A = this chain, B = another copy of it.
């Protein structure tokens, strides 16, 4: 009596790897790092557990790839708002800040994903490297927006301002994501734009309104 074997389709390597990474991130979002077991990932991706070790040397390598994709995607999402933002540098900065402090960037699942992987950066140098690269990527982006303002600044001051503005965004993102009910809608956007404006010596509130997409 022949055992009945689960039917399957052969897929391109890219598709399979992407599906496994997507499944990993989804499980981490829902249940933290503990939920991302090889069996759960495989089930979510619609394959059997053994396949994971066919595409990744081990689970750690899968997690590293997932982390990179997560962080690169987050930076791309932040940069996306600038595509259609006004050309005025004040408005562009305000739009960038606002986008970083609203859903979908501010999100409870996002902070769980982020926290899950941050744990790994201490013992895994590759993970720390991903963290470092993506952090600098975001901060450099912000620094570029600050440098575009009509206000001459020295390089050292620019660096300090970028670190500080990045910290404001990170801190507000963190608080809004972990305590969604502690703030009224767009309260963090108001605080973020106002605070960063004060640090830079400009009032961005007007430009925030300017950069808002028209309400339907």
B108 lies within 8 A of A112 (CB): no
A164 lies within 8 A of B32 (CB): no
A72-107 residues with Cβ-Cβ distance < 8 A to B are none
**Which one of A46-54, A115-123, A143-151, A204-212 is at the B interface?**
A115-123
0/1 string, A188-201, CB within 8 A of B gives 1: 10111011001101
Q: How far is the CA of A5 from the CA of B97 in the complex (A)?
A: 63
Number of A residues near B (Cβ < 8 Å) is 45
Copy count, this protein chain: 2
Determine how close the nearest CB of chain B comes to the CB of A70; give it in whole angstroms.
14
Q: Contacts A171-B171, A174-B174; is A164 near B119 (CB within 8 Å)?
A: no
A179 lies within 8 A of B131 (CB): yes
A168 located at the interface, meaning its Cβ lies under 8 Å from any Cβ of chain B in the complex: yes
Q: How far is the CA of A32 from the CA of B116 in the complex (A)?
A: 9
Which listed residue (B108, B111, B175, B192) contacts A170, Cβ 8 A?
B175
Contact residues in B for A163 (Cβ distance below 8 Å) = 172, 175, 183, 188, 191
B175 lies within 8 A of A135 (CB): yes
Q: Contacts A160-B194, A168-B171, A171-B171; is A178 near B131 (CB within 8 Å)?
A: yes
10 additional A-B pairs beyond A164-B168, A167-B171, A170-B170, beta carbons within 8 Å, are A32-B119, A34-B34, A132-B179, A132-B182, A135-B179, A160-B191, A166-B175, A168-B168, A168-B171, A195-B199
The 6 closest A-B pairs by CB, nearest first: A167-B171, A170-B171, A171-B171, A32-B119, A164-B195, A115-B115
Contact residues in B for A171 (Cβ distance below 8 Å) = 166-171, 174
Q: How far is the CA of A16 from the CA of B34 in the complex (A)?
A: 27
Contact residues in B for A172 (Cβ distance below 8 Å) = 163-164, 167
A185 located at the interface, meaning its Cβ lies under 8 Å from any Cβ of chain B in the complex: no
